[in-house]
């Protein structure tokens, strides 16, 4: 799909070239669309691109991978399409900026850091995929903070969160269809969906059960006083996408 400012100086030449390229790829499984960037801001947001990148061409494949050519000029359209067909174009990820600081107990993950913090970190990672508007996500936020603090002396464990509305998520190994969706990836590479109750105690027990080695977990509750755990039943506590 091409996004261009229809009132822009180069709009007609860009659209004309794009149509010619579309004709040359007829019958090859590609659909070509042209959209007005000014009236399609919602679409730009969906794809995770900025108005400053217009005019642009973006391709989304059936497996949800995206390929982007930003600030495209007429002379580049045909050659970029050929590079895409030849497998020479890198996948584009919608991602929030990488945080300048990431010092809170629950680590912030964005699409660009998913590999480094979760998939290839060599750590045991419990990650929450959330939406800012999700009430259930807001309820468990302080509980996950407590879980992270409980493991603060265990360098093998990371508690993390990713805003699934602002970052692309790979369909493998994660299946995110509602919020919150929580997964645990062990240092050995095993990925397990969390379906238990959302209490500090249950999260800790789940992590200890699924990580390859056991470590001391600091008990942050007072030994002289027993309190009822913060408990949220996981059943019927997920907002749909």
Write out pLDDT tens, residues 73-111: 999 999 999 999 999 999 999 999 999 999 999 999 999
CATH 3.40.30.10 fits 107-240, yes or no: yes
The predicted pLDDT at position 166 comes to 93
The predicted pLDDT at position 233 comes to 53
Residue 203, number of CB atoms within 10 A of its CB? 25
3-state secondary structure of 169: coil
> What CA–CA distances, in Å, run from 84 to 68, 91, 152?
10, 10, 45
Q: In CATH, what class is 2-85?
A: alpha beta
The predicted pLDDT at position 238 comes to 65
> Residue 20 in contact with residue 34, Cβ under 8 Å?
no
3-state secondary structure of 195: coil
The predicted pLDDT at position 236 comes to 57
Domain with CATH 3.40.30.10 in the chain: 2-85, 107-240
- Residues with pLDDT less than 70, the chain: 213-241
pTM as predicted: 0.77
Q: Which helix (H) or strand (E) holds 157?
A: strand 157-163
- Rounded to an integer, what distance in angstroms lies between the CA atom of residue 160 and that of residue 40? 33
């Amino acid at each position: 799909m091409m996004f261009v400012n229809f009132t822009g100086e180069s709009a007609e030449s860009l659209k004309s070239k794009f149509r010619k390229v579309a004709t040359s790829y007829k019958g090859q499984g590609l659909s070509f669309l042209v959209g007005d960037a000014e009236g399609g801001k919602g679409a730009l947001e969906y794809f995770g691109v900025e108005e400053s990148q217009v005019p642009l061409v973006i391709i989304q494949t059936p497996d949800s991978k995206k390929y982007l050519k930003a600030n495209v000029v007429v002379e580049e359209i045909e050659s970029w399409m050929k590079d895409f067909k030849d497998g020479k174009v890198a996948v584009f990820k919608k991602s929030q900026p990488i945080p300048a600081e990431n010092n809170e107990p629950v680590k912030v993950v964005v699409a660009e850091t998913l590999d480094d913090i979760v998939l290839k970190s060599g750590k045991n990672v419990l990650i929450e995929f959330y939406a800012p508007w999700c009430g259930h996500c807001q309820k468990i936020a302080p509980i996950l903070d407590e879980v992270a603090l409980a493991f603060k002396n265990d360098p093998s464990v990371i508690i993390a969160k990713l805003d699934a509305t602002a970052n692309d998520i790979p369909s493998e190994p994660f299946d995110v269809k509602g919020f919150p969706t929580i997964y645990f990836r062990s240092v050995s590479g095993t990925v397990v969906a969390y379906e238990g109750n959302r209490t500090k105690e249950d999260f800790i027990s789940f992590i200890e059960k699924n990580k390859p080695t056991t470590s001391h977990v600091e008990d942050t509750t007072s030994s002289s006083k027993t309190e009822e755990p913060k408990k949220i039943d996981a059943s019927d506590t997920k907002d749909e996408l």
